[in-house]
Amino acid sequence: MPGPVFCHSERLTYRLVDEGDYEFVRSNWNNPHVWRRMPINEALSRDGIAEWVEADETMHLLVCSDDDPETPLGLVYLFDIAPRSGHAELGYWLVPEAQGQGYATEAVDRCLQFAFGDQRLHKVIARIFAANGPSRRVVERFDFREEGRLREYHYTDGEYRDLLIYGLLSSEWDSA
């Protein structure tokens, strides 16, 4: 049985991740087409996924099409949420078949509504490989600013990759 519905956007339903979703998250997190685009250092086991999803300072939502709300398309999440300091980090990924259809943009928009509206955070950051043009374009649509470049920071597939740090302040976010 899928986890409970958390919220909706124009075309998408967002469900809380539950134990029945761990295999979907694990298999896609460990899919080279997904992890090569993310600044992660290791594959995650089912237990590792459970620990990550259940951490107190995180909020993970499965992204599902309204047409089929039981079949996940990906994940959007806030992690390292620091309520006292008012910041969190944004992450997201979609299965390859769901990419290029505007779902990531729609999911990030809904996640930012939650971060800046419901949670009243002051800042959201995102870490993205410099070579990941599609993901960079998603955050740039919301006026995230490139705040730093960690040169040759992450070793993947036999090469070092630059990692960009993007940031968006609540005062810069346009909820309209």
What CATH number does residue 62 fall under? 3.40.630.30
pLDDT of residue 72 exceeding 80: yes
H-helix segments, 63-132: 103-112
Which residues, 6 or more positions from 91, have their beta carbon under 8 angstroms from its beta carbon? 38, 75, 76, 77, 78, 79, 126
Q: Of 115, 111, 106, nearest to 169 (Cα)?
A: 115
Residue 35 pLDDT class (50, 70, 90 cuts): low
State both tokens at 91: 């992450």
Position 140 scores a pLDDT of 97
Contact 107, 92 (CB under 8 A): yes
Position 56 scores a pLDDT of 62
For 22-26, 93-97, 100-104, 124-128, which range has the lowest pLDDT when averaged over its residues? Answer: 22-26
pLDDT of residue 39 exceeding 90: no
What is the side-by-side strand order in the sheet with 72-82? 5-8, 12-16, 59-65, 72-82, 87-94, 123-129, 159-169, 145-156
Domain that holds residue 48: 5-172
State both tokens at 89: 């980090």
Work out the average pLDDT over 54-65: 79
Position 53 scores a pLDDT of 76
Work out the average pLDDT over 47-66: 79
Position 176 scores a pLDDT of 44
CA distance 171 to 153: 30
Work out the average pLDDT over 30-50: 70
Domain total in the chain: 1
Percentage of the chain lying above the pLDDT 70 cut: 89
Q: What is the pLDDT of residues 127-136, one digit of tens each?
A: 999 999 999 9
Position 46 scores a pLDDT of 77
Work out the average pLDDT over 82-92: 94
